[in-house]
């Protein structure tokens, strides 16, 4: 709390000193510090006001046999650093000799410059008033909206750092803010319904609060007049958010670590093979301007960069850390975490038609389609309903049945299928791609998915 | 065991009575500034994670941390600040920030003399008295890695078509000290260990992934006592069966849910809705139904923190209160809610020793501990025999409940029931429904109650819990599938 800032020079010098004393010649370090404030409200009253100061350091060392050990701590004092270094050295005795991480060859490569303006934090009581007003406006939007049980307005100032004993030094400062509003509506004799919206920005003054209220209200009201759906096979239209969630849940398809571990549906030789319809492209692009909170470098110091994953339906690349890139004979892609066994993950997806491909069926419009169509607005329970290594999913969703020109919200239902089959049964895209917190995507039409409603 | 006098911890990472003056000073300062109640939660942690894959240890990840959570109440409002800085200056700044959230401010440098409205801390309630050497008694890193490799080797012995074999071990040691301006002063040491075995089997287009987790609290020797062979055989038998299973046909049907982790149905469908956190939000349909029937009379449900060694057991909760045995539902009638300090303040339901949090970074909230449906009079075979056509759920995956009470959870290992007999295995099932509708449909309970370890994520983070039940029969539930 006293001084929640990282000092790269001092940290580097201190670690070098401690490492020399312990006869450790190779090390690297990832550190982060953040200061958060957030508020929640409940029917015009403050519900929870929260502040947090967080700090964390992860130290890796290579022992004299070249094996790697790691330790993390929230204690940034000299004693904490010394203990972490000692712990990592002790853990290195159990390092995996079959696969040892090394420094990323790109840990000193130039970083791109992003426009990430730093915003001053607002006083927490100002946040409280803003959120109370947002709640009031949302409650006023419809008589059935009785509460906004899940809501929050938060701001964060954060710092990230990567250092290594070869002289790499990465440092990034960032401010972000977010608001979420999830309303609950209920009409006499009917079950309660709920929906909501999220917005992110560099600071609270930049947040599109009005847009968030509008979207939360529209979505909630649109689910009031619900009806059960008959179990069967339907053409489905995924909202951008829902499709991005689904692709994110199956991102092991693109993950070199998962491929090497044998838990991905992809194999080493899947590159260059057809994965989807010939008009689908999926790109990972953490540097997209819509990605609030973009990292300039990954956990190994590798610069973040755009990467084509699927182009014209063909699997083109995997996401890599230094170790997986070495195993595949390519460069690291900037998607690594930090560890003795380094994890790999996506940043921010751009999904849409492959340029020049035509993009599937043209002129798709769910509002003029004769139907029946199931519009999948949001998916839930992805942690439980997705079997990424099997390819299957069975997920509850909120959405609408469009039939005969009439749209009706669907009572409790699930959508089930296989991701490989789904990617080959995309019909086309509708509308412009939308920027969401997870990526960029238009509405996606898919043929023949199993919907379970009433028997 | 509780000792009533302050003692110094054997482990230097433990909090001892030397913290008393600093804490009293902060609490007095908070009260002096106008807070109704100030609570300080101090924490030190020591974590070890180990991953074995096939025949190798592929990740060893020790970590240690420390921090404080400071909560200030005024009326029914509260402000919460967390920090990694345990220095006097850091804690004072945290208190100042928390007070500022309620429009209060420190009037001057804190005094060591108790102020008006604060009579000083009571005698330390020491729940850690017999736990000082637990961390040292846990298996060494060498022991842990050897045991895990034994697990993955047993998987290879018992399984066929295994494409990936993983064993994971997690040891979480936590030292906590809770001090509040109502005099609460208590400390504890918690030890949780968990083991997981996960496999992926593949044969042509057939693929099946499956895992099992075992977890206990307060048992330093737990890993040593683990029967790796039996655990591996259990996982391999299940994945072998599911590898060639067909996808379940969707629809509304009766279901029999096996004991142990089948208890996730109660956890998701009803347990979360009986936390005062949900009463406060207005997201439970049961808020005004104490004394009313909300479930079939076959159902009695309990939440407690007392079962010996169970993953969700506690000596004290994260607000310094000893856990109660809370009867939630008795023969179908709602008896009470799980409540923490804020829940009691805002809803009037008395505290039950259920104030829990993942770490100092979260304010405590009413959360489940060991939650189970009580045993009934039947045998599991009687339940299965009573179903003409339905689903037997032997093993459940995770689940969730939404703000309208709609729940869902995945069936990891399922079988059809036809004419009162288990027949072919099926996969890909998700059970969905609403608490108010499904609880009256739990019509039969068997006599084989068992608990299973798991993690529960909610407003105050991810915490250790157990779910549990005997075999139960649900008369009708929606099964999502293909």
pLDDT digits (tens, 9 = 90+) for B193-246: 999 999 999 999 899 999 999 999 999 999 999 999 999 999 999 999 999 999
Q: Look at B273 and B398; give whichever has higher pLDDT.
A: B273
Chain B neighbors of A84, CB-CB under 8 A:
64
Chain A neighbors of B99, CB-CB under 8 A:
none
Radius of gyration, CA atoms only, chain A: 24
Task: Examine residue A372 and say whether the peptide bond preceding it is cis (omega within 30 degrees of 0).
Answer: yes
Do A263 and B408 count as a contact with CB atoms less than 8 A apart?
no
pLDDT tens digit string along B150-183? 999 999 999 999 999 999 999 999 999 999 999 9
> For residues B53 and B213, is the Cβ–Cβ distance under 8 A?
no
Q: Output the CA torsion sign for B211, B216, B219, B225.
A: negative
Chain B neighbors of A263, CB-CB under 8 A:
163-164, 200, 209
- B18 strand-pairing partners: none
Exposed / middle / buried, residue A316 (Cβ in 10 Å: 0-12, 13-18, 19+)? middle
Min Cα separation B2/chain A (Å) = 30
Do B100 and A182 count as a contact with CB atoms less than 8 A apart?
no
Closest partner CB to A450 (pick from B91, B207, B250): B250
Chain A neighbors of B146, CB-CB under 8 A:
none
Closest partner CB to A71 (pick from B62, B252, B482): B62
Do A48 and B61 count as a contact with CB atoms less than 8 A apart?
no
Tokens found for residue B20: 């008393």
Do A184 and B283 count as a contact with CB atoms less than 8 A apart?
yes
Chain A neighbors of B163, CB-CB under 8 A:
262-263
Name the pLDDT band for B4 (thresholds 50, 70, 90). very low
3-state secondary structure of B294: coil
The rounded distance, in Å, linking the Cα atoms of B438 and B257 is: 13
Min Cα separation A267/chain B (Å) = 12
Residue B186 has pLDDT above 70, yes or no: yes
- B390 strand-pairing partners: B417
Q: Tell me which DSSP letter residue A63 carries.
A: -
Chain B neighbors of A395, CB-CB under 8 A:
430, 480
Residue B386 has pLDDT above 80, yes or no: yes
Tally of CA atoms within 13 A in the half-sphere of B341 that contains its CB:
25
Do A71 and B102 count as a contact with CB atoms less than 8 A apart?
no
Interface A-B: count of C-beta contacts within 8 A: 244
**How far separated are the first and last CA of chain B, in Å rounded?**
53
Chain A: residue whose CA lies nearest to B80: A50
Closest partner CB to A69 (pick from B60, B84, B91): B60
Do A2 and B251 count as a contact with CB atoms less than 8 A apart?
no
Do A396 and B51 count as a contact with CB atoms less than 8 A apart?
no
Specify the pLDDT at position B9. 35
Do A384 and B410 count as a contact with CB atoms less than 8 A apart?
yes
Chain A neighbors of B97, CB-CB under 8 A:
1, 51
Chain B: residue whose CA lies nearest to A448: B482
> For residues B39 and B160, is the Cβ–Cβ distance under 8 A?
no
> For residues A343 and A255, is the Cβ–Cβ distance under 8 A?
no
Residues in chain A predicted with pLDDT less than 50, given as ranges, are 1-2, 455
Radius of gyration, CA atoms only, chain B: 24
Chain A neighbors of B63, CB-CB under 8 A:
71-73
Specify the pLDDT at position B403. 72
Min Cα separation A289/chain B (Å) = 31
Element (H, E) at B97: helix B88-101
Tokens found for residue A237: 């239209």
Chain B: residue whose CA lies nearest to A389: B209
Do B61 and A53 count as a contact with CB atoms less than 8 A apart?
no
Chain B neighbors of A387, CB-CB under 8 A:
209
Chain A: residue whose CA lies nearest to B81: A51
- Cα–Cα distances (Å) from B85 to A54, B11, B51, B89, in that order, read 9, 20, 31, 8
Chain A neighbors of B13, CB-CB under 8 A:
none
Chain A neighbors of B83, CB-CB under 8 A:
1, 52-53
Name the pLDDT band for B408 (thresholds 50, 70, 90). confident
The position carrying tokens 């540097």 is A287
3-state secondary structure of A209: helix
- How many C-beta atoms surround the C-beta of residue B103 within 10 A? 11
**How far separated are the first and last CA of chain A, in Å rounded?**
57
Do A394 and B481 count as a contact with CB atoms less than 8 A apart?
yes
The position carrying tokens 């079939």 is B296
The rounded distance, in Å, linking the Cα atoms of A440 and A435 is: 5
Q: Tell me which DSSP letter residue A204 carries.
A: G
- Tell me which residue of B156, B178, B174 sits closest to B165, measured CA to CA: B156
Q: Angle at CA A245, nearest 5°, toward A241 and A247? A: 120
The average pLDDT across B376-397 equals: 96
The rounded distance, in Å, linking the Cα atoms of B318 and B360 is: 9
Exposed / middle / buried, residue A85 (Cβ in 10 Å: 0-12, 13-18, 19+)? buried
The rounded distance, in Å, linking the Cα atoms of A186 and A174 is: 40
Answering whether pTM is above 0.80, one says yes
Chain A neighbors of B283, CB-CB under 8 A:
147, 149, 184
Closest partner CB to A340 (pick from B59, B281, B434): B59
The average pLDDT across B4-10 equals: 35
Q: What DSSP assignment string belongs to B375-397?
A: P-SB-HHHHHHT-SEEEEEEEEE
The rounded distance, in Å, linking the Cα atoms of A405 and B396 is: 40
Q: Tell me which DSSP letter residue A123 carries.
A: P
Q: Tell me which DSSP letter residue B350 carries.
A: P
The position carrying tokens 């419809």 is A142
Tokens found for residue A346: 């996506």
Specify the pLDDT at position B13. 66
- Cα–Cα distances (Å) from A241 to A14, A177, A245, A418, in that order, read 45, 20, 6, 19
Q: Say if strands A26-42 and A193-201 run parallel, antiparallel, or are unpaired.
A: unpaired
Q: Say if strands B333-334 and B355-356 run parallel, antiparallel, or are unpaired.
A: unpaired
Q: Output the CA torsion sign for A190, A194, A195, A196.
A: positive
Contacts of A132 (CB under 8 A, 6+ apart): A41, A44, A46
Chain A: residue whose CA lies nearest to B283: A149
The rounded distance, in Å, linking the Cα atoms of B197 and B227 is: 12
Test the B interface: residue of A412, A415, A449, A450 with most B CBs within 10 Å = A412
The rounded distance, in Å, linking the Cα atoms of A68 and A76 is: 21
> For residues B433 and B361, is the Cβ–Cβ distance under 8 A?
no
Tally of CA atoms within 13 A in the half-sphere of B209 that contains its CB:
21
Min Cα separation B320/chain A (Å) = 21
Residue A131 phi, psi dihedral angles, 5° rounding = -70, -40
Min Cα separation A447/chain B (Å) = 14
Q: What DSSP assignment string belongs to A295-327?
A: -SB-TTSPBP--EEEEETTEE---B--HHHHHH
Chain B neighbors of A1, CB-CB under 8 A:
83, 85, 89-91, 93-94, 97
Name the pLDDT band for B111 (thresholds 50, 70, 90). low
Closest partner CB to A2 (pick from B87, B247, B427): B87
Q: Output the CA torsion sign for A275, A276, A279, A280.
A: negative
Min Cα separation B76/chain A (Å) = 9
Name the pLDDT band for B480 (thresholds 50, 70, 90). confident
Name the pLDDT band for B114 (thresholds 50, 70, 90). low
Do B402 and A194 count as a contact with CB atoms less than 8 A apart?
yes
Test the B interface: residue of A77, A340, A414 with most B CBs within 10 Å = A414
Average pLDDT of chain B is: 92
The rounded distance, in Å, linking the Cα atoms of B189 and B217 is: 11
Beta strands in A304-425 (DSSP E): 307-311, 314-315, 349-353, 373-379, 386-387, 392-403, 406-410, 413-418
Specify the pLDDT at position A5. 77
Instruction: Return the axis-axis angle of helices A209-222 and A124-140, rounded to nearest 10°.
Output: 30
Do B90 and A74 count as a contact with CB atoms less than 8 A apart?
no
Name the pLDDT band for B184 (thresholds 50, 70, 90). very high
- Tell me which residue of B372, B396, B326, B366 sits closest to B463, measured CA to CA: B366
Do B252 and A455 count as a contact with CB atoms less than 8 A apart?
yes
Name the pLDDT band for B409 (thresholds 50, 70, 90). confident
Do A149 and B60 count as a contact with CB atoms less than 8 A apart?
no
Specify the pLDDT at position B115. 62
Residue A254 phi, psi dihedral angles, 5° rounding = -110, 5
The rounded distance, in Å, linking the Cα atoms of B188 and B43 is: 10
Min Cα separation B466/chain A (Å) = 17
Do A94 and B60 count as a contact with CB atoms less than 8 A apart?
yes
Do B82 and A53 count as a contact with CB atoms less than 8 A apart?
yes
Closest partner CB to A385 (pick from B410, B478, B479): B410
Specify the pLDDT at position A6. 85
């Amino acid at each position: 709390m006293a001084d929640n800032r990282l000092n790269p020079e001092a940290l580097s010098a201190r670690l070098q000193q401690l490492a020399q004393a312990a006869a450790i010649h190779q090390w690297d370090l990832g550190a982060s510090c953040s200061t958060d404030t957030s508020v929640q409200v409940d029917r015009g009253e403050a519900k929870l006001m929260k502040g947090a100061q967080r700090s964390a350091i992860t130290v890796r060392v290579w022992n004299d046999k070249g094996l790697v050990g790691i330790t993390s701590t929230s204690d940034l004092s000299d004693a904490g650093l010394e203990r972490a270094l000692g712990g990592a050295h002790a853990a290195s005795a159990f390092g995996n000799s079959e696969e040892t991480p090394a420094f990323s060859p790109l840990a000193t490569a130039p970083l791109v410059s992003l426009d990430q303006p730093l915003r001053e934090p607002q006083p927490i009581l100002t946040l409280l008033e803003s959120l109370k007003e947002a709640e009031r406006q949302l409650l006023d939007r419809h008589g059935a909206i009785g509460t906004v049980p899940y809501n929050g307005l938060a701001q964060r100032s954060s710092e990230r750092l990567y250092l290594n004993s070869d002289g790499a030094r990465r440092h990034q400062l960032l401010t972000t803010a977010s608001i979420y509003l999830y309303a609950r509506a209920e009409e006499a004799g009917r079950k309660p319904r709920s929906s909501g919206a999220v917005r992110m920005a560099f600071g609270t003054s930049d947040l599109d609060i009005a847009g968030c209220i509008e979207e939360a209200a529209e979505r909630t009201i649109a689910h009031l007049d619900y009806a059960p759906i008959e179990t069967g096979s339907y053409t489905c239209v995924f909202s951008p958010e829902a499709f991005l969630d689904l692709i994110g849940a199956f991102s092991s398809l693109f993950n070199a670590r998962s491929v090497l571990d044998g838990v991905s549906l992809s194999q080493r030789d899947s590159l260059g093979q057809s994965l989807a319809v010939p008009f689908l492209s999926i790109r990972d692009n953490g540097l997209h301007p819509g990605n609030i909170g973009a990292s300039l470098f990954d956990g190994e110091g590798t610069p973040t960069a755009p990467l084509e994953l699927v182009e014209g339906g063909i699997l083109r690349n995997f996401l890599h850390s230094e170790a997986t890139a070495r195993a595949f004979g390519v460069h690291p892609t900037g998607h690594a975490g930090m560890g003795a066994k380094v994890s790999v993950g996506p940043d921010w997806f751009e999904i849409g038609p492959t340029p020049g491909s035509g993009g599937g069926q043209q002129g798709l419009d769910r509002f003029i389609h004769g139907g029946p169509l199931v519009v999948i607005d949001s998916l839930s329970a992805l942690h439980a309903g997705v079997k990424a290594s099997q390819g299957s999913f069975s997920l509850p969703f909120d959405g609408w049945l469009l039939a005969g020109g009439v749209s009706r919200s669907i009572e409790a239902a699930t959508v089930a299928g296989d991701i490989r089959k789904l990617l080959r049964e995309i019909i086309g895209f509708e509308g412009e791609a939308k920027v969401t917190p997870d990526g960029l995507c238009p509405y996606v039409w898919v043929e023949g998915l199993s919907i379970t409603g009433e028997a | 065991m509780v000792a009533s006098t302050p003692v110094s911890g054997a482990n230097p990472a433990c909090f001892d009575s030397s913290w008393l003056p600093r804490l009293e000073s902060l609490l007095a300062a908070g009260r002096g500034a106008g807070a109704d109640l100030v609570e300080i939660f101090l924490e030190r942690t020591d974590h070890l994670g180990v991953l074995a894959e096939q025949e190798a240890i592929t990740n060893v990840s020790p970590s240690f941390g420390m921090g404080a959570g400071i909560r200030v109440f005024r009326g029914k409002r509260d402000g919460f600040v967390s920090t990694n800085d345990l220095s006097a200056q850091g804690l004072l700044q945290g208190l100042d920030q928390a007070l500022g959230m309620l429009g209060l401010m420190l009037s001057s440098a804190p005094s060591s003399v108790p102020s008006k409205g604060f009579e000083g801390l009571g005698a330390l309630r020491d729940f850690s008295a017999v736990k000082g050497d637990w961390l040292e008694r846990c298996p060494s890193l060498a022991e842990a890695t050897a045991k895990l490799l034994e697990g993955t080797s047993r998987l290879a012995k018992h399984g066929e078509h295994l494409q990936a074999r993983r064993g994971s071990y997690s040891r979480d040691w936590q030292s906590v000290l809770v001090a509040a301006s109502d005099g609460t002063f208590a400390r504890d040491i918690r030890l949780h260990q968990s083991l997981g075995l996960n496999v992926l089997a593949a044969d042509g287009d057939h693929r099946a992934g499956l895992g099992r987790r075992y977890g206990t609290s307060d048992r330093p020797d737990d890993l040593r006592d683990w029967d790796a062979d039996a655990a591996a055989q259990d996982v391999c038998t299940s994945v072998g069966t599911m590898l060639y299973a067909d996808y379940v046909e969707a629809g509304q049907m009766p279901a029999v849910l096996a004991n142990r982790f089948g208890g996730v149905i109660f956890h998701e469908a009803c347990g979360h809705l009986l936390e005062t956190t949900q009463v406060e939000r207005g997201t439970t349909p049961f808020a005004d139904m104490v004394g009313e029937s909300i479930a079939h009379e076959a159902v009695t449900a309990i939440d407690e923190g007392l079962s010996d060694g169970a993953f969700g057991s506690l000596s004290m909760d994260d607000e310094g209160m000893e856990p109660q045995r809370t009867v939630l539902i008795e023969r179908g009638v709602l008896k009470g809610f799980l409540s923490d300090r804020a829940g009691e303040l805002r809803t009037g339901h008395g505290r039950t020793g259920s104030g829990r949090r993942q770490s100092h970074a979260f304010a405590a909230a009413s959360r489940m501990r060991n939650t189970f449906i009580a045993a009934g009079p039947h045998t599991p075979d009687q339940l299965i025999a009573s179903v003409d056509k339905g689903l037997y759920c032997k093993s459940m995956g995770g689940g969730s409940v939404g703000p309208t009470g709609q729940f869902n959870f995945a069936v990891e290992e399922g079988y059809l029931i036809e004419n009162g007999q288990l027949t072919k295995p099926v996969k890909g099932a998700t059970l969905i429904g609403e608490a108010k509708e499904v609880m009256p449909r739990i019509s039969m309970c068997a006599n084989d109650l068992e608990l299973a370890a798991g993690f529960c994520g909610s407003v105050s983070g991810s915490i250790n819990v157990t779910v549990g039940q005997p075999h139960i029969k649900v008369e009708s539930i929606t099964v999502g599938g293909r």
